[in-house]
């Protein structure tokens, strides 16, 4: 064996007292720390073999696991929470999602999350108070309202003007939603429904729903102005155009026109005519999609469409709706009356509210003069033109009459 090499003695260093107080530590400035070499914090192979790695992992605190969220399959019996709350009339879907984000809703004692689905037997609470909700949506209802000039389409008006909702019947569940809007001075057809999905589909711009108006303007439009309105006019919020323009006659300086448009921007019809130098003195909407203004419906009155009309409207809009009962044929009531009371005078055939035009090339899907399809044209024609006469034949009360204005008493 080789002899041991003696070590060189190290110079004596002043030994520091490890038991010094914190005061002595803070008195002296600490020397700057040396930078660690790259890879110094990396796990070494020796630590794994010696077992130090396993020991450090066992002493590390365990990560807190988030509570598992219950996820239900998208079935008809498990709708989304914000949709059920909206159809119950508590607010819009966006407002219900905000309540969920704020943590004000709970399902079975746990905070609800956005997009959560619920099922029968779940306990839903809002701010700690239990809610009684129906998971299945109510049967869809549609009202056709003849809006007069001077009413606004809003639930709450800060100027306290008369609104269209004050005349509508009350709902036990949900609330009436207007399908589109009409400005203060515009009259005519306005649809209401309690089905949010149907209302959204009828109002969505991508659906290309046709609106038809009867317009009275000051002065006749020339051929150049007519072509400009059909080709497109630049407005403040973008280009706009009519899909069709037809002459409607008139007396003196007032001229009537029948126009169709494929969108519902604010005061769009009026602004289009004003862009070519003609002021609109009267504007009446006579058709919205496949629904026309019922014949004989007075201003300020509403009538509820029958179940068959609602099913046809929902089918044309691509919305599945539950059927409450089997539809009844329109000819059942007159036939029964004739059998009981004997043969009566022959009734004239019903007249169509909207005559067939040359641009309606197909009974299933008509086309406007601009070449764009009318997706709401059904195989049975337009909806609601004989709603008033049908209810009277079936023994109903007909349209709800508008309230009599207060002030003067009727004579006699």
In DSSP terms, which residues pair with 145 in a beta bridge?
Answer: 190, 302
Write the CA distances from 364 to 15, 144, 211, 354, integer angstroms. Answer: 102, 23, 18, 16
Backbone angles phi and psi of 126, in degrees to 5: -115, 115
The Cα–Cα gap between 361 and 128 comes to 59
In the structure encoding, which two tokens stand for residue 395, read together? 């023994």
312 φ/ψ angles, rounded to the nearest 5 degrees = -65, -40
> Smallest Cα–Cα separation from 294: which of 379, 382, 210?
382
Please answer whether residues 298 and 270 qualify as being in contact, where contact means their C-beta atoms are separated by less than 8 angstroms: no
The tokens 């839903």 sit on which residue? 124
Which residues are registered as beta bridge partners of 190? 145
Contact 263, 271 (CB under 8 A): no
Instruction: Report the b/e string of 237-255 with b at 16+ CB within 10 A.
Output: eeebbbbbbeeeeeeeeeb
| Coil vs helix vs strand at 381 | strand
The Cα 193–Cα 168 span in angstroms is: 11
Q: Please give the Cα distance from 325 to 313 (Å, whole number).
A: 17
Beta bridge partners of 283: 215
DSSP, collapsed to helix, strand or coil, labels residue 198 as: helix
Looking at residue 364, what is its pLDDT? 26
Q: Contact 79/135 with Cβ under 8 angstroms?
A: yes
Half-sphere exposure of 24 (CA within 13 A, CB side): 6
For residue 8, the model assigns a pLDDT of 59
Say what the pLDDT of residue 76 is: 62
Structure tokens at 128: 């700690």
- Catalytic residues, which ones? 183
CA angle (409 as vertex; 403, 412 as ends), nearest 5: 115
Residue 394 backbone phi and psi in degrees, to 5:
-85, 5
**Complete domains list, the chain, with CATH:** 81-131 (3.10.290.10)
pLDDT of the residue at 104: 93
Note the pLDDT of residue 80: 87
Mean pLDDT, 10 residues at a time, the chain of 412 residues: 58 53 52 55 71 70 62 74 81 86 91 88 90 81 93 90 91 84 94 86 80 94 94 92 90 90 90 94 92 90 90 80 46 32 40 36 33 42 76 69 54 46
Enter the pTM of the model.
0.60
- The predicted pLDDT at position 337 comes to 32
């Amino acid at each position: 064996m080789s002899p041991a090499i003696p070590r060189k003695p190290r110079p004596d260093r002043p030994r520091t007292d490890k038991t010094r107080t914190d005061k002595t530590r803070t008195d002296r400035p600490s020397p700057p720390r040396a930078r660690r070499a790259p890879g110094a914090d990396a796990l070494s192979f020796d630590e794994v073999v010696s077992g130090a790695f396993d020991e450090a992992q066992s002493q590390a605190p365990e990560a807190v696991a988030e509570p598992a969220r219950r996820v239900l399959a998208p079935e008809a019996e498990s709708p989304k929470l914000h949709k059920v709350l909206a159809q119950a009339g508590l607010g819009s879907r966006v407002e219900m999602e905000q309540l969920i984000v704020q943590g004000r809703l709970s399902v079975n004692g746990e905070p609800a999350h956005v997009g959560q689905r619920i099922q029968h037997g779940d306990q839903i609470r809002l701010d700690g108070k239990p809610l009684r909700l129906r998971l299945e949506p109510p049967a869809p209802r549609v009202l056709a309202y003849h809006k007069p000039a001077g009413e606004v389409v809003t639930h709450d008006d800060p100027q306290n003007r008369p609104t269209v909702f004050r005349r509508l019947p009350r709902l036990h569940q949900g609330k009436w939603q207007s399908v589109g809007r009409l400005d203060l001075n515009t009259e005519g057809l306005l649809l209401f429904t309690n089905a949010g999905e149907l209302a959204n589909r009828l109002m969505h711009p991508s659906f290309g729903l046709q609106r038809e108006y009867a317009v009275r303007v000051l002065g006749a439009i020339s051929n150049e102005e007519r072509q400009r309105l059909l080709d497109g006019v630049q407005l403040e919020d973008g280009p706009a155009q009519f899909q069709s323009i037809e002459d409607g006659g008139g007396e003196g300086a007032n001229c009537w026109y029948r126009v169709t448009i494929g969108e519902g921007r604010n005061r769009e019809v009026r602004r289009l005519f004003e862009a070519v130098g003609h002021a609109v003195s009267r504007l009446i909407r006579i058709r919205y999609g496949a629904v026309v203004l019922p014949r004989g419906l007075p201003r300020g009155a509403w009538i509820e469409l029958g179940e068959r009309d609602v099913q046809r409207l929902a089918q044309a809009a691509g919305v599945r709706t539950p059927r409450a009962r089997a539809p009844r044929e329109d000819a059942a009531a007159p036939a029964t009356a004739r059998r009981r009371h004997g043969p009566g005078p022959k009734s004239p055939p019903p007249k169509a509210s909207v005559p067939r035009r040359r641009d309606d090339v197909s009974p299933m899907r008509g086309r406007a003069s601009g070449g764009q399809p009318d997706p709401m044209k059904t195989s049975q024609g337009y909806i609601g033109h004989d709603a008033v006469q049908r209810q009277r034949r079936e023994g109903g009360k007909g349209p709800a009459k508008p309230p009599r204005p207060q002030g003067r008493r009727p004579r006699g």
